[in-house]
Amino acid sequence: MARSSTTSDVFNAIAEAHRRDILDTLMAGEKPVGAIVTDLSMSQPQVSKHLRVLTEVGLVSCRADGRRRLYRLEPARLRPMHDWLAKYEQAWNNRLDRVEDYLKELQQQGEQQ
Amino acid sequence: MARSSTTSDVFNAIAEAHRRDILDTLMAGEKPVGAIVTDLSMSQPQVSKHLRVLTEVGLVSCRADGRRRLYRLEPARLRPMHDWLAKYEQAWNNRLDRVEDYLKELQQQGEQQ
DNA sequence: CAAACATATTCCGTTATCGGCATATGTCAA
DNA sequence: TTGACATATGCCGATAACGGAATATGTTTG
């Protein structure tokens, strides 16, 4: 049995770096496929396929404009991930008393009062 | 070319539902492999393999205790995901003026303020 | 209608994943 | 040391992901 389908949930959809790149570039606003292609230097079919996956999980939506299709970010769909993460956020805050973690924080962030 | 290696980054590591389950069960605290096996009704090798992946991306750490190995959550490693998400969090808040999103919020959350 | 343009889809080869099963490694107890 | 116990690893088959290239679909313009 292989990995569960990538089209079924947000976690899998976002596991791909290229798809995260597409979401990032769509933060600037609605864009046609061609703009994404040039922005990210990916092939047009590659972009279309990733957009399909992102559409299927609802992370982007699509609107026709003449012969182009304008894709738009649907950030609300990221909420499930945020909620899942929130549990751990608390966990990492609770452990700030541990010396290890404190040192890690200092190392990673340079400074933090 | 297939999907980029699951062992290389946190996004891929948590794309697997079983691995998220393991992290969830470790929130209760340090546990030996056997406890995870019974908690989640997975096979022991299956759990060990997922723990390997989680260890490689630093999401869990391991400590020997006699003939067992106690695994512990390392929630700080989820920070990169949180940071990536934060950008979109802003985006979904900024769009609250759009009726669509507002309705979605109401539907999903029931109430808010 | 034909040709140019924008995007989607299909087919293909390569590669990685996942789970199962068997087995190796390591540790304690008698 | 021998055997029970706990965990890790290796091998396997099935599945599906990814990118590339070619092509199909759909739209505008002449």
Tokens of residue A52, six digits:
């399909």
Instruction: Report the CATH number at residue A20.
Output: 1.10.10.10
Residue B45's contacts (CB-CB under 8 Å, 6 or more residues apart) are none
Within-domain flag for A1: no
Q: How many domains does chain A have?
A: 2
A16 and A69 housed in the same domain: yes
A63 and A82 housed in the same domain: no
Within-domain flag for A4: no
CA separation for the pair B22, B27 (Å, rounded): 9
Question: The domain containing residue A103 runs over which residues?
Answer: 78-109
Within-domain flag for B47: yes
| Chain C, protein-covered positions (CB within 7 A) | 5-10, 13-23, 26-28
A51 and A33 housed in the same domain: yes
A14 and A51 housed in the same domain: yes
Residue A73 pLDDT greater than 70, yes or no: yes
Scan residues 70-99 of A and list those with Cβ closer than 8 Å to B.
73, 75-76, 78-79, 81-82, 84-85, 87-89, 91-92, 95
Residue A62 pLDDT greater than 80, yes or no: yes
A17 touches chain B (CB under 8 A): yes
> pLDDT category, B91, cuts 50, 70, 90?
confident
A17 and A41 housed in the same domain: yes
The pLDDT tens digits of the residues spanning A14-58 come to: 999 999 999 999 999 999 999 999 999 999 999 999 999 999 999
Question: pTM, whole model, 2 decimals?
Answer: 0.84
The confidence score (pLDDT) of residue B112 equals 46
Within-domain flag for B5: no
The pLDDT tens digits of the residues spanning B12-58 come to: 999 999 999 999 999 999 999 999 999 999 999 999 999 999 999 99
In chain B, alpha helices (H): 10-13, 17-26, 33-40, 44-56, 79-94, 99-109
Residue A77 pLDDT greater than 60, yes or no: yes
Task: Find chain A residues with C-beta within 8 A of B14's C-beta.
Answer: 11
A49 and A68 housed in the same domain: yes
